[in-house]
Amino acid sequence: MTDKPAIPGRLEGLDYLSELPQPRPHNHEPRMFPSGFLWGAATSSHQVEGGNTKNDWYRWEQVPGHIVDGSVTGAADDEYNRYEQDFDLAAGFHQNAHRLSLEWSRIEPAEGQWDMEEVLHYRRVLEALRARGMTTMVTIWHFTLPQWFADRGGWEERDAVKLFVRYVEFVARELGDLVDFWNTVNEPTIYLGQSYSIGVWPPGVSNQFRMLRVFRRLAKAHSMAYETLHRVLDGRGRPVMVGMAQNVITFEPYRKESMADSYFVWFADRLFNHQFFLWTKKRHDFIGINYYFHYRIKYVPTKFTQFFYEVHAENRTQSDLGWEINPQGIFQAIMGMARYKLPIIITEHGVANADDSKRPRMIIAALMEVYHAIRAGVDIRGYFHWSLVDNFEWEKGFSGRFGLIAVDFATQKRTPRRSAYVYAEICETNGVPHHLLRFTGHGVRW
């Protein structure tokens, strides 16, 4: 057996290493966020309150087949009665802000009839947040419509915007002193797709012309709500911050060299992410970003109506609902919306993951991308995790568990998940401590 020949030259002594570029000093300090950054979680009324029987979703849930797991909201999280318990948990986990929504059908159960007991309820809810030192963000409309409004045609009704603005003015006068940030509408493009394209939400329509009509109404509703909130609340001695929460989807071409793929990525981005803002220019004080979806687009010219499809059969990391987990995409989402040169708040971001095996890693990875965007010069004011507690996830029912806090819906027992403690350390630190980066595969030592 002959010896292996020696490697000639300076490799023998590994002296060449001294001539290679040396790594930068490793930073073990926390990745700090701006002073006053908002750290919170989000919910919506129908998904957590329970007992909402006067809106269009209540009727929709009663029809077999409308909800994937066959459930109905019922008592949901009983948040209507347990809000102080859940706010204590949020405050105990060092959250300094909370996002919630008002249930229109509670406040105006019949056309033109205001239920002052429900108004007082929401005042108590907002006062409970204030008592815990938490900044409040209120969504005025989060998908559900009063049944009387839906019976008139919903957003297709000619007077829909007028009726909505009347509601907006009422809640502004009754609750405006307790609200720091307003979201007029939540995810209008998602609502359009789910309700008027694929038809899995009420009113269950698949009609592009009706969808376009509702798009115009929602854009006008936001613009007029923006003007109404400022008209009613400006001059009360505190700034009025009005925006909306947009579900920003990130896209990339499946084939980098394909001009067709690249064109349809541009088309999809403009259609889903920017069209609403183009119709509502100068009617935003901040931009709310909800981020969940990342699509790879491949152009398939098989049908005139099939411009692109999502490549979704590659065994990528997915949530319990089958959505790809791509936390790095939140940087792209932020930078895409930064073109409007307005403050940005991450109004929703989360993952359906019942065993909590993926949530801590996703939170850390996404917040590092938010940190990078801040370092790139974007004015980002806050991050709201979706969700504080497990909830009713629309047509999916209770099968998607998004909560930092797990809920046993039979007993209403709350159990904080590991991710709640991870997020609590971030909230308390106002940054991402270095040792938490291990969740993303980053070693504490080199």
Gap between the Cα atoms of 361 and 359, Å rounded: 5
Which region among 46-55, 299-308, 351-360 has the lowest average model confidence (pLDDT)? 299-308
Confidence band, pLDDT 50/70/90 cuts, at residue 444: very low
Query: Does residue 443 have a pLDDT over 80?
Result: no
Identify which of 44, 77, 267, 58 has the alpha carbon closest to the alpha carbon of residue 146. 58
HSE on the CB side for 385, CA within 13 Å? Answer: 31
pLDDT in tens, 21-39: 555 666 778 899 999 999 9
Residue 312: the pLDDT is 66
99, 198, 324, 347 from 367: Cα distances, Å: 18, 32, 17, 13
Amino acid at 134: M
Q: pLDDT per residue over 390-407, tens digit each?
A: 999 999 999 999 999 999
What is the pLDDT confidence band of residue 305, given thresholds at 50, 70 and 90? low
pLDDT at 303 over 70: no
Q: How high does pLDDT run on average in the chain?
A: 92
C-beta of residue 178 within 8 angstroms of C-beta of residue 127: yes
pLDDT (tens digit, 9 = 90+) per residue, 5-24?
444 444 444 444 455 555 56
User: How much is the pLDDT for 242?
Assistant: 98
Domain layout of the chain by residue ranges: 40-433
Cα–Cα distance between 2 and 15 in angstroms, integer? 27
* The CATH number, out of the four listed (3.30.930.10, 2.60.40.10, 3.20.20.70, 3.20.20.80), of the domain defined by the range 40-433: 3.20.20.80
Residue 445: per-residue pLDDT: 42
What integer pLDDT is reported at residue 26 of this predicted model?
66
> How big is the CA angle at 199 (ends 316 and 312), to the nearest 5 degrees?
15
Q: Determine contact, residues 298/308, Cβ cutoff 8 Å.
A: yes
Whole-structure pTM value: 0.93
Mean pLDDT of 305-312: 61
Distances (CA, A) of 48 to 13, 80, 84, 86, 178: 66, 8, 13, 11, 21
Distances (CA, A) of 85 to 166, 168, 187, 306: 33, 28, 28, 48
- pLDDT value for 47: 98
For residue 127, the Cα-to-chain-centroid distance in whole angstroms is 24
